[in-house]
Amino acid sequence: MAKVLLLAGDGIGPEIAAEAKLALERLAPGVEVEEALIGAAAIRATGSPLPDETVAAAHAATAVLKGPVGDPEFDAADVRPEQGLLKLRAELDAYANLRPSVQGDVDLLIVRELVGGLYFGARGVREDGTVFDTCEYHPDQVERIVRRGFALAEGRRGRLTSVDKANVLDTSRLWRRVVDRVAPEYPDVQVEHMLVDNAAMQLATSPEQFDVIVTENMFGDILSDLAAAVTGGLGLAPSASLSDSGPGIFEPVHGSAPDIAGRGIANPAAMLRSTALLLEHGLGLYDEGRALARAVDAALALAPTPDLGGSATTAELGAKVREQLEVEARP
């Protein structure tokens, strides 16, 4: 039996996770849902942002559905909620982060390398007070994310934009060499290289030109948020982080919003859209995932939450999504 590990997270996490669980149970009733702790909630309960029990449950799961983590209480602490997320990605080798951005004429997918680069390189403080963070990539790390980008472009509109900073960085020059070496294996995909500063400008001014963007960790972090802002904002943006063999991680990209936690007004759309990606990429239930994505779009128009100028509560939008699923399922 397929098993989904639900990590509700912090702040508004439990509220939006509850709606995602209801949608998942509606669309995949045979899937077992197990819950565990991560982030600030885990620190308070166990002292660790990612307890061993959660790691074991993640490895045993078919897919992981995670809410946002973070709490101002731990912002300056040595042990922080966000460390749990980074460790979970590394534990599952969830190296391929997919960030779709769709609105109007814009339909692009950013494929971000997630377990290498600046965020995982050597770091420290030298005796003279200099602080350093190192960006490191092995050719194998680059090749596997590049191949993932090519494969996804093949199934879309056949255009791949590889983003780097090859005019300055050795890691980017490696990245570009790997792309050029792999490209002939995908003759149906049109490839272009683009420097990251130009890519940011192009995303802001004419995002409709892009199909699939593949890039390294930090560039992908920044560009995917820009793409989300261009197509409706972070509050609506889902993500999937995939490995080659183990479970993927599916999560909204917005924060834990502790200022509105417990008020029942959080928008669960990004969490529900992440659940749609889980159904499609994590459980192989493509039709169910597409149905949920359409239901979320319809529900947002009918029952917008306060952040979108409406008055629907978290639970009311979730209920409207399930109502739209029932409407779609009628003959």
Q: How far apart are CA 295 and CA 273, in angstroms?
A: 10
The catalytic site residues sit at 119, 165, 197, 221, 225
**Can you tell me the distance from the alpha carbon of 279 to that of 292, in angstroms, rounded to the nearest whole number?**
9
Helix, strand or coil, per DSSP, at residue 101? strand
Whose tokens are 């993640």? That residue is 58
Rg of the chain (C-alpha set): 20
Are the C-beta atoms of residues 254 and 235 closer than 8 Å to each other?
yes
Token pair listed for 238: 């889902």
Residues 6+ apart with CB under 8 A from 229: none
78: amino acid identity, one letter = D
Reading phi first (left if > 0) and then psi (alpha if -120 to 50, else beta), residue 154 is in alpha
13 close to 67: Cβ distance less than 8 angstroms:
yes
CA 79, CA 46: separation in Å to the nearest integer?
12
The phi and psi torsions of 168 (rounded to 5 degrees) equal -130, -45
Neighbouring-strand partners of residue 63: 4, 248
CB 18 within 8 A of CB 48: no
* Spatial separation of the C-alpha atoms in residues 135 and 132, rounded to whole Å: 10
Question: Can you tell me the distance from the alpha carbon of 315 to that of 132, in angstroms, rounded to the nearest whole number?
Answer: 45
